[in-house]
Chains A and B, each alone.
Chain A
């Protein structure tokens, strides 16, 4: 069997539609994941024991179960509790809750690398703790965790293929549909892989630039 690329040319517009959804879902998930990660770190410093316990339980559950199952739970189990969430939103929620747990661990590590004296100085000049967090701590932590965050984002982008299982028509699901119509599976899967690769490659390039720019102060 020879590869016949005209099928790919024919399918490409459809695949690109799916690519767009993949990009959207991943961008949203990483942004929300970052927010979740920050909130989790703040929550772990809370005075309330119950909140701290819940957060630790959340992190253990996310780390101890497959993402695949987490996606299925968000989409199929939450409606049973009366929460009917559409596919796209379910996908974003599942992915961001998952990466939020990992990102919170990165932030915790980053926090330890900020010299305590810088926080002393901020306090000494009368800065409120919220202001210190926003102006001194967080900007430095974000730069510190940029490399692992990039890896997390790349992983998220690829894991978003799992969302095809709940019927979200992202790139992978789109590929399956195209195959259903054309019955040419090898070419389409190869093209799909190429599209994922291009996305990850572009992401790597962008973040490398970002790292360079942000780390101008670290000699």
Chain B
């Protein structure tokens, strides 16, 4: 049944929070292996879009497909859409790794316990296999020596690298990043971006909501610019940064580049 070749397909997605119309008909396709950066002013709906992808937020209208299967819904033979069961939704979610702006590590667990938690309890991995996997992921993010540290004992950059390892431990088909460096002190941003770039080189499919223009131009295959709940421009970084067409993109980029540092 799969024909589109895209791993993520978003169709006419709308989200209202009460009266507030946050997403106003988003269409988006992401192919396997593609790296897409979503940029835009705060309040433009970037994070809400990301949260709709794995049904952390339920879309008000429209739908998200993962590998051509609707996320959060099942379609009857007559095309009627019903909400899917919790376990099916969870199975879909487990295929997408998420990294949050505020890390969201479980503070009562050590770094390695954070990493093995979902693989063991959701994927049914044995503790031994999970521990071995955790160790190799800790090596990947350069924090092998911190495996027994609690999140409170780690810097923000270290916590975010653990959070990336935690997401990777689920063997996700796609990684979603929600402003992964926005909560970090400037000197800690680099270590997190380095891990993400490494991941990109390894061929991971990535959707990254970010304000980091350097990262976006270096890593992204495509930049999606959002404003007021709509995609107003998209294209490869070279075109996007050098020859933006949309008036709002031009204004945004002008503001970003005139920042003091």
Binding site for B on A (CB under 8 A): 115, 117-118, 120-129, 131, 135-136, 139-140, 143, 216-219
Contact A121 B90 (CB under 8 A): no
Report A82 CB to chain B, min CB distance, Å: 41
Enumerate chain A residues within 8 angstroms of B109, measured Cβ to Cβ: 217
- How many B residues, CB 8 Å from partner? 32
Contact B150 A124 (CB under 8 A): no
* Interface residue? B201 (CB, 8 A): no
Contact A123 B150 (CB under 8 A): no
- The total of Cβ contacts below 8 Å across the A-B interface reads 76
Given A135-B117, A217-B152, A218-B152, the answer on whether A128 and B86 have CB atoms closer than 8 Å is yes
Binding site for A on B (CB under 8 A): 54, 56, 86-87, 90-94, 96, 98, 100, 102-109, 117-118, 121-122, 150-153, 163, 166-167, 170
CA distance A125 to B55 in the complex (A): 11
Given A118-B107, A139-B108, A143-B108, the answer on whether A123 and B152 have CB atoms closer than 8 Å is no
Given A123-B56, A125-B93, A135-B117, the answer on whether A117 and B100 have CB atoms closer than 8 Å is yes
Partner among B86, B98, B117 whose Cβ is within 8 Å of the Cβ of A124: B98
Interface of A is mostly: helix
CA distance A41 to B167 in the complex (A): 31
Partner among A118, A123, A126, A143 whose Cβ is within 8 Å of the Cβ of B106: A118
Contact B118 A127 (CB under 8 A): yes
Enumerate chain A residues within 8 angstroms of B56, measured Cβ to Cβ: 120, 123-124
Enumerate chain A residues within 8 angstroms of B100, measured Cβ to Cβ: 117, 120-121
